[in-house]
A and B are shown apart, each in its own frame.
Chain A
Amino acid sequence: MPAEPTGSAAHGPDPSEPRASARAPSCATSPEARCREAARGGPRRPRRSFLQRTLEELLAFLEDALFAERIAAVPGLLQSFDARAKLLFGVCLAVGLTSVHAALPLALALLLALPAASRSGIRPALLVARVWPVTLGFTALLALPAAVSWVRPGAPLLQLWTFADGETLDVTRPGLEGVLTLSLRVSSVASWMTALLLTTRWDRALSALRSLGVPAAFRLVALLSYRYLFLLCDLVRSEHLARESRTPHLPGRSRAGGAEERGWVAARIGALLLRANQASEEVYLAMQARGAGIAIRTLTPPAWRARDAGLALLGLVLLVASVAAGR
């Protein structure tokens, strides 16, 4: 059984979860388990076939979607705000943080995401394990060439190499500061956006796009797309599971790379496309049968409360302050 996402979460396990975890490898059972294993450098296991990899990715996606739905349903700090206020706050914060060029405020924003997540039912360790290895680690790795003297000259901090002509390759102070600032910026925005999105129900988040002026047609397409994503995922999972169950696992035999397997994957993609085409026709006919046309009717959004307006205002103030400080 996957661990509960929060210590205070007063809700039972999802009934669909034990079935999924019974078939899935341990790394695909829960986001926490995956994060723990990723932090340890990944589980040790034999090389997986393309079928197993696709199945694991599908399960991981479904697990993440279920996990997000569960977190969004838990009472907490960020859950208590209206989705529109959170969306405005999130956009203002993202734009504001991308305008900040000093490491200290970015580090502060990054650290503040942890108590906000904690009070919203997301364990800080989970947020750290879920976001930071990718953002802090990957960004630092990607931007590392920019820390050396060839790309960013400046005061040397660490000498990496001395060439025959006496020239040196160093890690420079301005280079390292630039990498640190970039990593902190990427991580702080990602941490806050993850916390905000995990605590917002998907349908509410899409409805909230209305407050940003996103056309109703786009919102409906995105909502339908999200719903049918799971149908198509299930279709792909069934096909891959069927083939995997029919494939003998002989020791010493290569399990991927054959021309027949490549043809099979391409044919599955083609068949998925045909199925999506067919499903769109069925959905259209169903919509017609119910009298739905292009006109999109949405529920009247709830009135803004003082706390929602406060959060949106806080976002605007942070945006203005960040832009002013960044100039």
Chain B
Amino acid sequence: MHIPDGYLGPATYGSMFVVMAPAWAAAGAVVRKRLRARQVPYLALAGAFSFVVMMFNFPIPGGSTGHATGAVLAAIVTGPWAACLALSVTVVLQALLAGDGGVTCIGANCFSMAFVTPVVGWLAYRLLAGKCPAGATRRAAAAAAGGFVGLNLSALTTAFLLGLQPLLAHAADGSPLYCPLPLTITVPAMMAGHILYFGWIEAAITGLAVAYLGRTAPEVLATGEASTSLFARPALPWLAVTALALLTPLGLLLPALTGAGGAFGEASPADLRNPAVAGPSAVASVPPGMERLHGKWTGPLPNYGLPNQAVAASWFGKSAAYVLAAFVGIAAVALVVFVLGRRLLAPAPRGPDAR
């Protein structure tokens, strides 16, 4: 699941660093608040654990063996935010030490393996575990489900990142410049292996390890549940924003269903001349200033789509671009708000005579 260098285009791997920046900042804030000086050794050992756990061979019926990531287990024990940071360290170590995953793809790999897996897996675990005691079978089953869901969603994220490349980056003749496989191949190829095989290994290891911890050290499981301050209040707004981002393709679907067409004069000044768009307000000629200035600045994601709409002409391509643009926009706004918040709301420095 580690994406090597060269599979993702600069626009994608650059965007993934931007997407991960608020996640790292938020995780850092939570961990700093909870652990203070303990954070450095705690995260270091959690990172080392995540690295080593991937070397365990898990016996499978039939005599074969498989590996697990242990990401959801780390999230259950250390909390999702500490796990996000520790797993990010692991991804960096794997890229630099073992050449596992590309250096340019560190942001993308961190997003899928250090953010999606622990956070989604931990949310599923908390949802299913409820308030049952540490040694309960239900808790182990919830951990197994969390491992399965977290790993599969992470695989889906990787499949999307790879499969979007033919839409995002292509030559003038349409040849893909990076990963050449479309979503119709990457998603089934990745998900078949993970849903049928790897997901079950992750589920078994996570569930059995939580059952073991529940019997031998139940207090350790309580630590992860205490480190959720970021989820305590703003969870609902974040989930709502994510849901809205995923619903953005409705903006394409509904006008097509209702025959409403595009917004008046928004896409191009030429629409003002077109009676089909402008109706009775259509004009014979567009003011030259409007014509001259139109298209001077299109932005990195023009019309919330891909740089070249010709290739992404399908509804699916446009929808994927809409969702991508939504997430990039959310991440950019969150980053700006975070930076401004840190600057503007920082406590004033206290002078020597301050009381």
Task: Name which residue of chain B comes closest to A261, CB basis.
Answer: B59
The interface stretch among A15-23, A93-101, A114-122 is A93-101
Flag if A193 contacts B103 (CB, 8 Å).
Answer: yes
Closest 6 CB pairs of A and B: A266-B208, A146-B180, A224-B44, A283-B41, A186-B6, A225-B47
Convert B97-131 into 0s and 1s, putting 1 for each residue whose CB lies closer than 8 angstroms to a CB of A: 11100111000000000000000000000000000
Q: Could you say which of A54, A97, A99 has the most chain B C-beta atoms within 10 Å of its C-beta?
A: A54
Given contacts A182-B7, A262-B58, contact A98 B181 (CB under 8 A): no
Report chain B residues within 8 Å CB of A139.
4, 6
The interface stretch among B62-70, B280-288, B319-327 is B62-70
Identify which of B6, B62, B175 contacts A177 (C-beta below 8 A).
B175
Convert A159-188 into 0s and 1s, putting 1 for each residue whose CB lies closer than 8 angstroms to a CB of B: 000000000000000110111011001100
Identify which of A131, A142, A229 contacts B52 (C-beta below 8 A).
A229
For the complex, give the distance between the alpha carbons of A224 and B213 in Å.
25
**B77-100: which residues lie under 8 A (CB-CB) from chain A?**
77, 85-86, 89-90, 92-93, 96-99
Convert B198-231 into 0s and 1s, putting 1 for each residue whose CB lies closer than 8 angstroms to a CB of A: 0000001101111111001100100000000000
For the complex, give the distance between the alpha carbons of A235 and B107 in Å.
31
Report chain A residues within 8 Å CB of B182.
151
A171 shortest CB reach to chain B, Å: 13
Chain B residues near A (Cβ < 8 Å): 4-10, 13, 28, 36-49, 51-53, 55-65, 70, 73-74, 77, 85-86, 89-90, 92-93, 96-99, 102-104, 171, 173, 175-182, 185, 204-205, 207-213, 216-217, 220
For the complex, give the distance between the alpha carbons of A233 and B98 in Å.
15
Label chain A's interface by main secondary structure.
helix
Identify which of A65, A221, A267 contacts B44 (C-beta below 8 A).
A221
Task: Name which residue of chain B comes closest to A47, CB basis.
Answer: B63
Report chain B residues within 8 Å CB of A190.
4-5, 99, 102
CB pairs A–B below 8 angstroms (12 shown)? A54-B56, A217-B40, A221-B43, A224-B41, A225-B86, A263-B208, A273-B49, A273-B73, A276-B49, A281-B38, A283-B41, A294-B39
Q: Tally chain A residues at the interface, Cβ within 8 Å.
A: 89
Flag if A270 contacts B52 (CB, 8 Å).
Answer: no
Given contacts A221-B89, A265-B59, contact A98 B180 (CB under 8 A): no
Q: Is A57 an interface residue (CB 8 A)?
A: yes
